A = this chain, B = another copy of it.
């Protein structure tokens, strides 16, 4: 099946109209919808806008919106006809023959379908005189017409070749309507197709539409189902992103445009076989890499030893060590000397690293050309939107990336309780407005599923967090974004962390302390509340309190977790045990953890520096 051409409405991008056109062209879009307010604020004539677009290979797919087309008052109808003449002229000057007409929202809207069809037919006649076609769209909050099937009936009754339907996934799915009947509209009467996703927020559909729309895959709507319904109609026009989003309006338009194109390619992949190269998704962790200057690297090494890790390998080209405990491998990279200790790269196992990288490239993920020494493994690597590297490692029991390290014969750590089983998850802090882009990257490029966004109270504001997991939960990545005021003060509240899973958190916590490790201190009030809520066994509770272990419970099982003191402003470690299939991350404990981190001397010091 042929793929649809790609388009984006200028309202989806920040900047002036010329800046928007440049961004859309650079991301590879075929066309743009011109959003009228962008034109009104622009000193270029419509013809100059058309030339500018054409010069960078963009068509103008549509001019929009033409609002409130119908009216019970004949004088208003005459004014509307006048307005339509002018807007058709602008559309033609812009180089498009399509004008988007929204169902009326004003109190004078016509409420009788026959009369509405009549008025739309008359407007279609006016448009046809200019060589323009009208795509009539049901707004979810229209005064009379809100359902695309209702709009389609009115369009059919008007029966004019210059009048057809425009469908927008947001207006259909936000109402909970079934998109299946789009297939019945037929290619001839489906003039335009706009697509937008939206999160599931408990608010009215109008503010949701105006402020929180997002690109397909960033929200919670079933856009694959919607897209399939449009394809089933035989529609062959462009698929056009129309996204009103408060954060996109502030973002770098070039980055937003790339994000939008990524969302369309992913949508095509989900609905059209062969749209992207096939590749199996990553199947687990190979390693997590921490970068640190040599000094801070010493702190990381001390922490790893206290957690029972030992140095098991040295990279052939030096300055990079491999640390291991049980099934967990940490790469400690001292090649970037200016860096505070931080998570810098995620190594993921896959059966087909290069196919996965090729697919990622099609999804506009920037590939890194890392230097590969003689005999070294060629590990395809990408850069996630926040700058973290993602590396695809051949999933072989031996060899592969591990062969880049020369084994060292250090004394293995003494046998102890609570050794590490696997990397359980990593958490990556995101910059302001970077949340949705990063989330789409994880879902589209890595095949993870985004869960509900949760908000957690820190002493200095709410932290938003969203977990992403692979189908079998072998990969879990949480994205966190801290409060804006803290970012404005240059002191973001969130740092990255890596969580190791153990089969014995009590043993691990004890061994960690014995080895000189410092867990994050948990207040006694927390344990008093645990007792009040869960009535835990007093001895068990005393053990938790003694070892600064936090506790949670869900319908599947129990969680025990402790946190290390931070190694840097950007890194700490969590150790956790999942008993009986506990699925969460202990979010209920996060406020206690955040407040405890705020009280540590290192945090006080950072605060006084800022």
A residues at B contact (CB < 8 Å): 14-16, 19, 36-37, 39-43, 45-46, 79, 82-83, 86-87, 90, 201-204, 206-207, 246-247, 249-251, 432-433, 457, 459-462, 483-488, 521, 523-526, 528-529, 531-533, 535, 591-592, 594-596, 598-599
Contact B487 A595 (CB under 8 A): no
Contact B202 A250 (CB under 8 A): no
Q: Which of B43, B202, B525, B599 is within 8 Å of A40, CB to CB?
A: B525
- Given the interface contacts A433-B485, A523-B43, A595-B42, does A246 sit within 8 Å of B461 by beta carbon? yes
Contact A461 B249 (CB under 8 A): yes
A39 contacts which chain B residues (CB < 8 A)? 525
Contact A432 B524 (CB under 8 A): no
Contact A523 B432 (CB under 8 A): no
Contact A14 B591 (CB under 8 A): no
Residue of B nearest to A523 (CB): B43
Contact A485 B45 (CB under 8 A): no
A79 contacts which chain B residues (CB < 8 A)? 535
A126 to chain B, nearest CB (A): 13
Contact A461 B90 (CB under 8 A): no
Contact B528 A90 (CB under 8 A): yes
- Given the interface contacts A202-B206, A432-B485, A595-B41, does A83 sit within 8 Å of B461 by beta carbon? no
Contact B523 A484 (CB under 8 A): no
Contact A460 B14 (CB under 8 A): yes
Extra contacts, 6 of them, besides A14-B460, A203-B207 (Cβ < 8 A), are A16-B599, A82-B535, A86-B531, A251-B485, A484-B484, A488-B488
Contact A16 B462 (CB under 8 A): no
Which of A457, A485, A594 is the most central at the interface, judged by chain B CB atoms within 10 Å of its CB? A485
Q: Which of B206, B249, B483 is within 8 Å of A249, CB to CB?
A: B483
Q: Which of B40, B462, B535 is within 8 Å of A246, CB to CB?
A: B462
A235 to chain B, nearest CB (A): 30
Q: Could you give 30 example pairs across A and B, Cβ below 8 Å?
A: A14-B461, A15-B459, A15-B460, A16-B459, A36-B529, A40-B523, A40-B525, A40-B592, A41-B526, A41-B591, A41-B592, A42-B523, A43-B521, A43-B599, A79-B535, A82-B532, A86-B529, A201-B203, A201-B207, A203-B207, A246-B483, A249-B460, A249-B461, A249-B483, A250-B460, A250-B485, A251-B485, A432-B488, A433-B485, A488-B488
A432 contacts which chain B residues (CB < 8 A)? 484-485, 488
Contact B599 A249 (CB under 8 A): no
